[in-house]
Amino acid sequence: MKEIAVFASGSGTNFQAIVDYFRNHKMIKVGTLFCNSPDAGAVRRAEKAGIPVVLFTKEDLYGSNKVLNILLEKRIDLIVLAGFMWLIPPKIVSRFRGRIVNIHPALLPKFGGKGMYGINVHNEVISNREKVSGITIHCIDEEYDRGEIVFQAICDVSEDDTPATLAEKVKDLEHRYYPVVIEKLLADDNHVQFS
Binding interface with ligand GRF (CB under 6 A)? 8, 10-15, 82-83, 103-105, 174
Cβ closest to ligand GRF, residue 72 vs residue 142: 142
Q: Helices marked H in 26-89 — which ranges? A: 41-49, 58, 66-73
Cβ closest to ligand GRF, residue 2 vs residue 104: 104
Contact present, 58 and 39 (Cβ < 8 Å) = no
Least distance in angstroms from the C-beta of 40 to ligand GRF: 8
Least distance in angstroms from the C-beta of 193 to ligand GRF: 22
Least distance in angstroms from the C-beta of 25 to ligand GRF: 19
How far apart (Å, rounded) are the C-alpha atoms in residues 8 and 10? 6
**Nearest-5° Cα angle at 102, 135 to 15:** 90
Cβ closest to ligand GRF, residue 63 vs residue 109: 109
Task: Return the H-helix or E-strand segment holding 160.
Answer: none
Options 25, 104, 122, 175, the catalytic residue: 104
Strand order from edge to edge, sheet including 149-156:
53-55, 28-35, 2-7, 78-81, 100-104, 132-139, 149-156
Reduce the DSSP state of residue 134 to 3 states and report it. strand
- Is 104 a residue of the active site? yes
| Nearest residue (beta carbon) to ligand GRF | 83
Cβ closest to ligand GRF, residue 14 vs residue 36: 14
Least distance in angstroms from the C-beta of 102 to ligand GRF: 6
Residues known to be catalytic:
104
